[in-house]
Structure 1
Amino acid sequence: MRRQRHQHHPDLDAYFARIGWSGERAPTWATLRSLHLAHVVGIPFENVEVVLGGVPSLEPADLEDKLVRQGRGGYCFEHNLLFAGVLEALGFGVTRLAARVRMGSDAIRPLTHILLAVEVPGEAHPYIADVGFGSGGLLEPLPLLPGVSSPQGAWRYRLVREDDRWLLQTVYGDDGWFTVYEFTLQRRELVDYEVANWYVATHPGSPFRHTLRVQRSGPHERAYVVGRLLTVVRSDGSTEERRLADDHEVLRLLVRDFGLLLPWDTAFPEPPERPERPEEN
């Protein structure tokens, strides 16, 4: 007998206030597109809970409390499960999927990323939505069609078929199209994400366990904190890097510029001598 979970009804008013959205509450392409962008811009990607030794809860009520009411962000499982619940409450059809992060590599990595296939009433094809990728992910949904280049602010994306897999690609510097992750259209269950979430939060080799990673995205600028290195990438191709001196400077930045509500006595583990680049979800 399958375990039954308590059904959660998302507080749409609180969620929309959190992301600063006031559009039409109807399951249309325009709603999906504007909600996706507002979420990405409004709620940062961050792994503070994990780097401090915790494992994020994926229960819908807990996700809403953390990302909406507490003024926090999260990583992929938190963002996309929260977003899926909101979309379903609005009348969209949502299939939860899983991806292997590639970031240009051909290595076979575990299924540690969540994304969504969203059905919009009246549309001939689904859309891929992903508001929780922490290294230059989508700003807007992509049509689930092969080879369609989608400009999104200063960036471009497309989906490519490779046998039974789909590849999400973006233009990366002067090297042309770059594979971000691969996925299939197999539906996943919450228990699948609970296992992946535990692995990502606790495995000694996880890039999220030992190094602070925070990102805030917009159409023309992306800002990353990795360890104590702040990197800002702008639409004109310029990049700015600044070393943060200590936890106090990190906290001031996260509160002032990233909009995260964190206790002032938060102390992060010492970052590696050479901070990693943001290379995972």
Structure 2
Amino acid sequence: MNERYFARIGIPAPAVPDLAGLRAIAAAHTRSIPFENLDSWTGIEVDLDPAALTAKLVDARRGGYCFEHNALLRRVLDDLGYRTTGLSARVVWGAGPEAPPGPRSHMLLRVDLPEGPHVVDVGFGGQTLTGVLALEPDVEQATPHEPFRLRRDGGIHELQSLIGGQWRPLYRFDQVPTPAADYEVSNFYVSRHPRSGFVTGLIAARAAADRRYALGGRTLAVHRLGGPSQRRELGSPAELREVLERDLLIDTSGLPDLDGHLARLF
């Protein structure tokens, strides 16, 4: 599987499991494999079985959301000799400061290196980490895109991104390892609950080398590094499908009646 994975992301496998190799993998993965919820939005089961993840994200040239991306990446990293731990987070992105805690509905990875523990997360939509963060609090850390930092309150870490000159909280997590059974439960909730945003609306994103694409419904946002952001409403199901293919790099050919589902947005 690893040979097909590295062909998919367009780089050779690192010769040794080191920090430089991890950074290269994270950057290439997020450029090449998009974030998207076309399965859960169109009523298709999201299967976390390793063979299913490889078939979808690697062979079928689709994307997925956090459980799919980070489970696939974790298997690749483990095979290369990295020491990984799966963690879970509560998403606070878009929530007000007084909002009650949400569920642990997000998956991320800790990778232990000689330099210390690092956070890797290739599955957080429009704010996906394109780099690797040292698990150190209150240190601004550069990535190929925005700077990020981790704040710590007791045993809880909060990931923040510098957007428009302001630090914005994304999610909170602790260091307790998450067993596979918990990811299965969270995946079922995220992909099947009638009020889940991954069921009620179309979401897709990709981090290109010099910009981020973020699609919500029929609204496409393009955030250029060091430049202005642009938003526009797409005018037809055909244009929306073209954006999914051209900008998000999603092969939509295997999705049944996708045009009918896209037409619901117009």
- Please state which band the TM-score falls in when normalised by the shorter chain: over 0.9
State the partner residue of 2:38: 48
What's the Cα RMSD here?
A: 1.5
State the partner residue of 1:181: 171
Q: 1:185 corresponds to which letter in structure 2?
A: Q
The separation in 1 between residues aligned to 2:15 and 2:57, in whole angstroms, is: 20
What secondary structure sits across from 2:185 in the alignment?
helix
The separation in 2 between residues aligned to 1:32 and 1:179, in whole angstroms, is: 24
Alpha-carbon spacing, 1:90–1:23, altered in 2? closer, same or farther (3 Å): closer
The separation in 1 between residues aligned to 2:144 and 2:177, in whole angstroms, is: 30
Which stretch has the larger CA shift, 205-214 or 233-242? 233-242
Structure 1 residue 34 corresponds to structure 2 residue 32:
no
> How high is the TM-score relative to the length of structure 2?
0.93
Identity %: 38
Alpha-carbon spacing, 1:181–1:208, altered in 2? closer, same or farther (3 Å): same
Q: Which residue, 133, 143, 150 being the options, matches 1:142?
A: 133
Q: Matches of residues 155-194 of structure 1 in structure 2 within 5 Å?
A: 155-174=146-165, 176-194=166-184
What secondary structure sits across from 1:79 in the alignment?
helix
Which stretch has the larger CA shift, 89-98 or 257-266? 257-266
State the partner residue of 2:188: 198
The separation in 1 between residues aligned to 2:162 and 2:219, in whole angstroms, is: 24
The separation in 1 between residues aligned to 2:215 and 2:232, in whole angstroms, is: 10
The separation in 2 between residues aligned to 1:95 and 1:24, in whole angstroms, is: 20
CA offsets 1:10-52 (integer angstroms, 9 cap, x no match):
x111000000011523110111010011101110000000100
State the partner residue of 2:228: 238
Runs of 4+ in structure 1 off by over 4 angstroms are none
State the partner residue of 1:132: 123
Which stretch has the larger CA shift, 31-40 or 232-241? 232-241
Structure 1 residue 97 corresponds to structure 2 residue 87:
yes
The separation in 2 between residues aligned to 1:248 and 1:268, in whole angstroms, is: 12
Report if the CA contact (8 A) 2:86-2:179 is conserved: yes
The separation in 2 between residues aligned to 1:167 and 1:208, in whole angstroms, is: 23
> Post-superposition shift, 1:237?
3.5
Structure 1 residue 113 corresponds to structure 2 residue 106:
yes
What secondary structure sits across from 1:208 in the alignment?
helix
Q: Which residue, 203, 207, 223 being the options, matches 2:197?
A: 207
Q: 1:181 corresponds to which letter in structure 2?
A: Y
What secondary structure sits across from 1:26 in the alignment?
coil
Q: 1:34 corresponds to which letter in structure 2?
A: A
Gaps of at least 5 residues in structure 1 are 1-10, 274-281
Alpha-carbon spacing, 1:154–1:33, altered in 2? closer, same or farther (3 Å): closer
What secondary structure sits across from 1:214 in the alignment?
strand
Gaps of at least 5 residues in structure 2 are none
Report if the CA contact (8 A) 1:55-1:197 is conserved: no
State the partner residue of 1:73: 63
Alpha-carbon spacing, 1:259–1:218, altered in 2? closer, same or farther (3 Å): closer
> Post-superposition shift, 1:236?
2.4
> Post-superposition shift, 1:218?
2.9
CA offsets 1:94-125 (integer angstroms, 9 cap, x no match):
100000000153320100000000012x32x1
Q: Matches of residues 12-31 of structure 1 in structure 2 within 5 Å?
A: 12-31=2-21
Task: Tell me the number of residue pairs that the alignment of Structure 1 and Structure 2 aligns.
Answer: 259
What secondary structure sits across from 2:15 in the alignment?
coil
The separation in 1 between residues aligned to 2:71 and 2:13, in whole angstroms, is: 21
> How high is the TM-score relative to the length of structure 1?
0.88
